Amino acid sequence: MLAGFVTVVAVLATIQWPRELHRSRQILRDGEVTVGWIADVWETGARHRTAHITVGFRDSVGRHFERDFRVLRFDDPIDQGRPVLVFYDPLDPMQCITPCASSIELAEQIPLSAARAG
């Protein structure tokens, strides 16, 4: 029973990861970018600590959004209140990514001043 469950989880992860990667690339290619902020930082896991952040941002018409992410990269500090780039789908802003929570690397660093402040 446990082996079957592990197999199902492995298959779902194998299917889900390429979908998320494709969606992230689509948002980077066709979406909009803004400067958001780290609204909250927390850790989970007793044995293997995992960092999480809540990122807040405003879309191009000023609506406020927040989304939780698991931190995958620690290139920059993840302090509460720190500005971060947020790439989002203008038709569905909850479909968004931030570089520290993505396995995709930007070809060149985008300075925060180049993005619209949220």
Q: Across all residues in the chain, what is the average pLDDT?
A: 79
Q: What pLDDT does 73 receive?
A: 80
The 10s digit of each residue's pLDDT in 41-89 is: 998 888 888 899 999 999 999 999 999 999 988 878 889 999 999 999 9
pLDDT score of 9 more than 70? no
Instruction: Please give the residue that has the higher pLDDT: either 99 or 93.
Output: 93
84 CB burial (10 A radius; 0-12, 13-18, 19+): buried
Q: What is the pTM of this model?
A: 0.71
pLDDT score of 11 more than 50? no
The 10s digit of each residue's pLDDT in 77-87 is: 889 999 999 99
The one-letter amino acid at 31: G
99 CB burial (10 A radius; 0-12, 13-18, 19+): buried
Q: How far apart are CA 106 and CA 118, in angstroms?
A: 21
**Alpha-carbon distances of 34 from 58, 83, 118, rounded to whole Å:** 8, 10, 6
